[in-house]
């Protein structure tokens, strides 16, 4: 059936209205995020700055000892170019991430190579005499692996594994195996915060919906009030409230419940309290929005048929408000995964979440590849969680329609 020309014009007009938003989201959000995540597999700064050296190492075997003269010649030429192009710092940092302690070796060798200190032949002896660090076989083995512009180095490190000497995947040393614990800790804290918010929000939402209009609006205002306050301010307030000479410890001491102040702040407890306080309004709003659409006559009918209040709520009310619980849980869980300020300020040293490590690697150590790999982990968790929510909603809709 032919579509009327008027509907074509209406569709084109609506597309023009939406186009600025689509362009804005793509330019300021999707493209930068995709570009940042691509750093998790980007190896061009090493392979692009050491092309001659990597090519000369193609036939080199680590068992034969140090590379021959042509490899050292290629290395000097590459490092001299890197110094002239001001890429020696980036190159030194990336190589140092793989072989710790080589940063200044790369920088000093690049400077000497650019100054022509290795123009005389043979280069190998003069280079080893001036910079003995180049007699490390592990350094040459690592450089020989950097053939491709892409690498799995950061992705493997983000799950505490690495390439061994034979090229196979092996676990990192125990003192470096931290990221899996951080990832599991992030998921656990987010799940616990979501569960606590759900348990607290259900009775609060029920009270808001069931109360007289004046009290309902008043309670709703108390729920919304924290959202008008800065997240940083709310987090700092919890540090003041929970510190040793804060009002909570003063009250406990005054009532004789404890004999000395408790360590409440900078613990997992304080982290849960602060995150729940911040995220609880979102759960309440989601549940209230669905609960208001459930006729009160349903509960009264169940109660009139002899069911207890708990049974009526569990078998009548709860199935009808599950969509609100799911949407609220999704919002709280997603926000919890990416939390940075609250765990950093209120949590203890063992309560830091993935976002804190992402900030550390991108701002402090400038290890953007590892920061991007950890960000990719969060994105994959979000996708898996979104799929689970979508499946749960689909099952719920099928049961409701059935």
Q: What is the pLDDT of residues 333-349, one digit of tens each?
A: 999 998 888 888 888 88
Average pLDDT of the chain, as a whole number: 90
Chain-centroid distance, C-alpha 223: 28
Are 67 and 56 within 8 A, CB to CB?
yes
- Record the tokens describing residue 7, joined without a space: 């509907």
Residue-level pLDDT at 295? 87
| Cβ proximity of 144 and 157 under 8 Å | no
Q: What is the DSSP letter of 77?
A: H
Q: pLDDT category, 164, cuts 50, 70, 90?
A: confident
C-alpha–C-alpha distance, residues 209 and 211, integer Å: 6
Are 198 and 330 in contact by the 8 Å Cβ rule? The answer is no
Say what the pLDDT of residue 165 is.
77
Sign of the dihedral through C-alpha 31, 37, 41, 42: positive
CA 193, CA 186: separation in Å to the nearest integer? 11
Q: Which residues contact 162 (CB under 8 A, 6 or more apart)?
A: 153, 156, 169, 170, 171, 172
For 97, other C-beta atoms within 10 Å of its C-beta total: 19
What tokens were used for 384?
């898996």
What is the mean predicted confidence (pLDDT) over 27-52? 93
Q: pLDDT by residue (tens digit) across 301-332? A: 888 888 888 898 888 888 889 989 999 999 99
Residue 168 pLDDT class (50, 70, 90 cuts): confident
């Amino acid at each position: 059936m032919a579509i009327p020309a008027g509907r074509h014009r209406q569709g084109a007009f609506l597309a023009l209205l939406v186009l600025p938003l689509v362009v804005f989201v793509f330019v300021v959000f999707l493209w930068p995020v995709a570009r940042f995540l691509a750093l998790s597999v980007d190896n061009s700064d090493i392979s692009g700055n050491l092309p001659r050296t990597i090519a000369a190492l193609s036939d080199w075997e680590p068992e034969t000892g140090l590379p021959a003269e042509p490899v050292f010649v290629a290395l000097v030429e590459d490092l001299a170019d890197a110094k002239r192009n001001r890429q020696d710092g980036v190159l030194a940092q990336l190589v140092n991430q793989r072989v710790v302690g080589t940063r200044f070796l790369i920088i000093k060798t690049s400077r000497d190579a650019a100054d022509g200190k290795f123009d005389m032949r043979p280069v190998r002896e003069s280079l080893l005499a001036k910079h003995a660090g180049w007699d490390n076989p592990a350094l040459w083995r690592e450089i020989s692996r950097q053939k491709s512009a892409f690498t799995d180095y950061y992705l493997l490190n983000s799950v505490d594994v690495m390439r061994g000497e034979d090229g196979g995947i092996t676990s990192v040393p125990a003192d470096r195996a931290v990221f899996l614990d951080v990832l599991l800790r992030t998921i656990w804290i987010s799940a616990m915060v979501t569960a606590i918010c759900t348990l607290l929000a259900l009775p609060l939402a029920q009270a808001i919906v069931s109360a007289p209009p004046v009290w309902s609006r008043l309670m709703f205002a108390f729920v919304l009030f924290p959202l008008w306050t800065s997240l940083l301010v709310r987090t700092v307030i919890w540090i003041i409230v929970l510190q040793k000479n804060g009002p909570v410890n003063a009250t406990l001491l005054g009532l004789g419940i404890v004999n000395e102040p408790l360590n409440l702040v900078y613990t997992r407890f304080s982290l849960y309290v602060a995150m729940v306080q911040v995220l609880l309004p979102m759960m309440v709003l989601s549940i209230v929005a669905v609960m208001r659409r459930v006729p009160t006559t349903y509960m009264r009918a169940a109660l009139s048929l002899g069911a207890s209040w708990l049974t009526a709520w569990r078998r009548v009310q709860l199935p009808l408000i599950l969509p609100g619980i799911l949407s609220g849980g999704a919002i709280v869980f997603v926000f919890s995964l990416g939390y940075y300020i609250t765990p950093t300020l209120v949590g203890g040293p063992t309560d830091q979440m993935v976002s804190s490590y992402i900030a550390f690697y991108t701002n402090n150590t400038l290890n953007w590849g590892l920061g991007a790999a950890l960000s990719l982990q969060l994105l994959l968790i979000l996708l898996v969680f979104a799929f689970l929510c979508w499946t749960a909603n689909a099952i719920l809709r099928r049961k409701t329609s059935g």
